[in-house]
Amino acid sequence: MRLHVIEAGAGPAIVILHGLFGAARNFATIQRRLAAHYRVLALDLRNHGESPHAPGMAYATLAADVRETLAAHGALPAAVVGHSMGGKVAMRLALAAPEAVSRLAACDIAPVPYPSHGHRGYIAAMRALPLTPELTRAGAEAALAEAVPSAPLRQFLLHSLRFGAAPSWRLGLAEIAAAMPEIESWDAPPGVSYAGPTLFLTGGRSDYVRPEYRPAIRALFPHARFATLKQAGHWLHADDPEGFLAAIAAFLSPLLGSGIRAEGAEP
């Protein structure tokens, strides 16, 4: 599947993959800053943003979508930065096609199965929302309040809702709901590893990447390095955008070959 791409800048190719319920535009500020030195392609994964809706969200399938899209844009090999679900897609791509990935940054995610973290309840509430012309953002937020108690999370989810005469979700909610067992799982190809430079960037206030996951990480990514943004939770790029940018830019800077670095210490 060819995915929707937002592209900016010129230079070595960098790919940004969002997490569940997200979209390429969530990384607009990060993309704009990195585009000073790189060709940055932010992708909408299938059933998200402006990309097509289709059944099947196994990580092998999502990684194949990314590879096909980057090949069509002449953007291989590329450094791949993925957050949460997008980090799993990035890892799966690196394992299946290491020649396609020059560097890998997995942001607050590990190559392990995860519980739903309430995601199935959020999907049910979003699917139950009456999409009538009278629907307002305030009304939609009120309707989701019981299932999604966090106001910032409700606002994030509603970024994917089009309002107006015919409200509609940019998200393929039916497809995502059916694929939740795949999304929550992890499926690595047997007997493979990715030997390229790898960064696992985590939030100090998140429990997504626990110390006990490190053996599984190092088995698949033997050159993995770890860095933590102490004041960030799972949403690293939103909780600490400057720290996130500094860590990612430092990790990517060897691609420039000119010693250029963004502000911040190397993680």
* Tens digit of each residue's pLDDT (9 = 90 or more) over 45-99: 999 999 999 999 999 999 999 999 999 999 999 999 999 999 999 999 999 999 9
pLDDT in tens, 169-220: 999 999 999 999 999 999 888 899 999 999 999 999 999 999 999 999 999 9
Confidence of residue 133 (pLDDT cuts 50, 70, 90): very high
Least confident span in 36-40, 96-100, 138-142, 258-262? 258-262
The answer to whether 242 and 116 have CB atoms below 8 angstroms apart is: no
Q: What is the pLDDT of residue 260?
A: 44
3-class DSSP assignment, residue 41: strand
What is the DSSP pairing of strand 13-17 with strand 39-43?
Answer: parallel
Q: What is the pLDDT of residue 261?
A: 46
Which residues of the chain are in CATH 3.40.50.1820 domains? Answer: 5-113+185-255
pLDDT in tens, 110-124: 999 998 889 999 999
- pTM of the prediction? 0.95
- Who contacts 207 (Cβ-Cβ below 8 Å, separation ≥6)? none
Q: How far is CA 267 from CA 46, 198, 223, 228, 245, in A?
A: 32, 12, 14, 8, 11
**What's the CATH superfamily of 5-113+185-255?**
Alpha/Beta hydrolase fold, catalytic domain (3.40.50.1820)
For 40: left if phi > 0, alpha if psi spans -120 to 50, otherwise beta; the answer is: beta
The answer to whether 116 and 180 have CB atoms below 8 angstroms apart is: yes
